[in-house]
Amino acid sequence: QQQVKQSPQSLIVQKGGIPIINCAYENTAFDYFPWYQQFPGKGPALLIAIRPDVSEKKEGRFTISFNKSAKQFSLHIMDSQPGDSATYFCAASDYKLSFGAGTTVTVRA
């Protein structure tokens, strides 16, 4: 049973567009919400993370929006570039990380 539901499964945007990936959870014990980026043939790498006491966090072109009451959080990639093409996983942790199913993002030049 997947504890973190992620959508969409895949999306394609043009360079400069803003892909948005959404995640939802039920377990209110989750207190740490990271996003991981994975390129083909590589392991996932931490991109950005948020705690539930803030509603938004920005790092460079990546922004997490967090809605504690709705138990939802999302990743926005501003001014997307072809090099951002990868699979993105949201995750949530109480004492171990539970991952979403992943979203494959393709940014066309």
Partner 1 sequence: GAGVSQSPSNKVTEKGKDVELRCDPISGHTALYWYRQSLGQGLEFLIYFQGNSAPDKSGLPSDRFSAERTGGSVSTLTIQRTQQEDSAVYLCASSLEGRGVGELFFGEGSRLTVL
Residues that bind partner 1 (CB under 8 A): 2, 4, 6, 9, 31-32, 34, 36, 41-46, 49, 89, 91, 93-102
- Hey, what are 74's tokens? 């999302």
Buried b (16+ CB within 10 A) or exposed e, 88-100: bbbbbbeeebbbb
Q: How far is CA 28 from the centre of its chain?
A: 18
| Minimum distance from residue 103 beta carbon to partner 1 (Å) | 10
Q: Is 83 helix (H, G, I), strand (E, B) or coil?
A: helix
Residue number, 20 or 48, with CB nearest to partner 1: 48
| Minimum distance from residue 25 beta carbon to partner 1 (Å) | 13
| Minimum distance from residue 20 beta carbon to partner 1 (Å) | 18
